[in-house]
């Protein structure tokens, strides 16, 4: 069998749902878009984006020996943009079970080792913690196209693919790039509650609720606080409304299916958690990495939006907290509830 066919079959056997092959190439236009994103400071507090700019813009700067990129996709469907009731927390669907980095990375490494043992050369495995422009590479590998929401869209899996890559020194014939099929649809752009999209394919992360609830380390800007709604971690609005999602089958990976206790947990229950309880409830999930302080910040914002006077004491308890981030958010929540 051909090199591509055997790699594809091995990848499917390891649990990947989509496989494509691309050259280690990012177009000048895509590099320019990345540079503009950094120059205009739309990356906010994600300083590593600027620090790794040159490696991110060119795979051959990241690893000069790379000759081919194998892009792997893992389905995490179903997606939803329908919020739970205001008195319950809304956690992004991908974060309601095992951290996908922990699921994908061992499989990517296993595929890389198998390629080296079977076909020779060298290989390196990456998930999105590495400076790799995953979506352009996935689109070039034929897994789909970069949608107006800047994420990958697949004809088979909609906006539900989690991506990883294996870089190899082997020369592998690339697949045909994915065809752009968004057409005139702008559901993702219109769904964004903060207007974070400046235009199709151009986002200001500083206005993105995923950024504000996950990556942003300070107090959430007051003008954005109401937009948080009951989101505790992340936001699925733009990906959840993608019409291509209707073709996506449910995820076959049990570790990526939401745990019942993390699907719309009551805000009152979350408010009773101390730091140990937080670590226990969210052990092994992406939520744990934001830490207890940011979790409490997000929770207080959600409480302020809940219109539930019974939660006022929770907000008032944060007014004298040692953390300025908590005090600022608690003050806003108390004023909202009053």
Closest CA to 32 of 140, 145, 133: 133
Distance CA 283, CA 36 (A): 37
Average pLDDT, the chain: 96
Give the pLDDT of residue 87: 95
Collapse the DSSP code of 311 into the 3-class scheme (helix H, G, I; strand E, B; otherwise coil) and give the result: helix
Collapse the DSSP code of 19 into the 3-class scheme (helix H, G, I; strand E, B; otherwise coil) and give the result: strand
Token couple for 180: 């752009």
Per the CB < 8 A criterion, the answer to whether 195 and 287 are in contact is no
For 214, other C-beta atoms within 10 Å of its C-beta total: 19
Tokens 């299916």 -> residue: 257
Residue range 190-237, pLDDT digits in tens: 999 999 999 999 999 999 999 999 999 999 999 999 999 999 999 999
Per the CB < 8 A criterion, the answer to whether 58 and 218 are in contact is no
Could you tell me the residue ranges of all domains in the chain?
A: 1-338
Closest CA to 106 of 118, 114, 97, 94: 114
Residue range 235-293, pLDDT digits in tens: 999 999 999 999 999 998 889 988 999 999 999 999 999 999 999 999 999 999 999 99
SS (H, E, C) 170-183: CCCCCCCCCCCCCC
Give the pLDDT of residue 89: 97
Give the pLDDT of residue 150: 98
Average pLDDT, integer, range 61-79: 96
Distance CA 71, CA 132 (A): 11
Give the pLDDT of residue 1: 64
Beta bridge partners, 331, equal: none
Per the CB < 8 A criterion, the answer to whether 182 and 207 are in contact is no
Token couple for 215: 């990556």
Beta bridge partners, 153, equal: 145
- The C-alpha angle 194, 83, 200, rounded to 5 degrees, equals 35
Distance CA 201, CA 306 (A): 32
80 band by pLDDT with thresholds 50, 70 and 90 = confident
The DSSP secondary-structure symbol of 81 reads: -
Q: Which of 58, 87, 128, 308 is catalytic?
A: 128
128 is catalytic: yes
Give the pLDDT of residue 21: 98
Closest CA to 218 of 96, 73, 323: 323
Per the CB < 8 A criterion, the answer to whether 299 and 271 are in contact is yes
């Amino acid at each position: 069998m051909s090199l591509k066919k055997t790699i594809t079959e091995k990848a499917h056997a390891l649990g990947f749902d989509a496989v494509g092959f691309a050259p280690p190439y990012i177009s000048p236009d895509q590099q320019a878009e990345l540079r503009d994103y950094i120059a205009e400071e739309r990356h906010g507090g994600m300083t590593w984006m600027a620090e790794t700019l040159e490696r991110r813009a060119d795979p051959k700067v990241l690893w000069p020996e790379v000759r081919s990129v194998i892009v792997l996709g893992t389905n995490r469907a179903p997606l939803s943009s329908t919020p739970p009731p205001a008195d319950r927390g809304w956690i992004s669907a991908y974060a309601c079970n095992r951290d996908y980095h922990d699921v994908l990375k061992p499989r990517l490494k296993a595929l890389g080792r198998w390629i080296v043992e079977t076909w020779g050369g060298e290989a390196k495995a990456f998930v999105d913690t590495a400076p790799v422009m995953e979506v352009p590479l996935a689109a070039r590998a034929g897994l789909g196209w970069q949608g107006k929401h800047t994420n990958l869209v697949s004809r088979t899996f909609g906006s539900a693919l989690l991506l990883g890559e294996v870089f190899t020194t082997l020369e592998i014939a690339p697949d045909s790039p994915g065809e752009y099929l968004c057409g005139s649809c702008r559901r993702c752009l219109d769904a964004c509650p903060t207007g974070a999209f400046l235009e199709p394919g151009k986002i200001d992360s500083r206005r993105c609720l995923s950024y504000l609830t996950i990556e942003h380390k300070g107090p959430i800007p007051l003008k954005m606080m109401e937009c948080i709604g009951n989101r505790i971690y992340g936001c699925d609005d733009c990906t959840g409304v993608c019409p291509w999602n209707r073709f996506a089958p449910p995820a076959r990976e049990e570790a990526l299916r939401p745990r019942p206790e993390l699907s719309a947990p009551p805000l009152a229950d979350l408010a009773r958690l101390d730091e140990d309880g937080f670590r226990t409830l969210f052990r092994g999930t992406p939520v744990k990495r934001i830490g207890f302080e940011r979790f409490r910040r997000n929770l207080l914002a959600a409480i302020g939006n809940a219109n539930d006077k019974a939660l006022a004491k929770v907000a008032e308890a944060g007014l004298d907290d040692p953390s300025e981030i908590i005090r600022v958010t608690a003050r806003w929540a108390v004023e909202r509830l009053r």
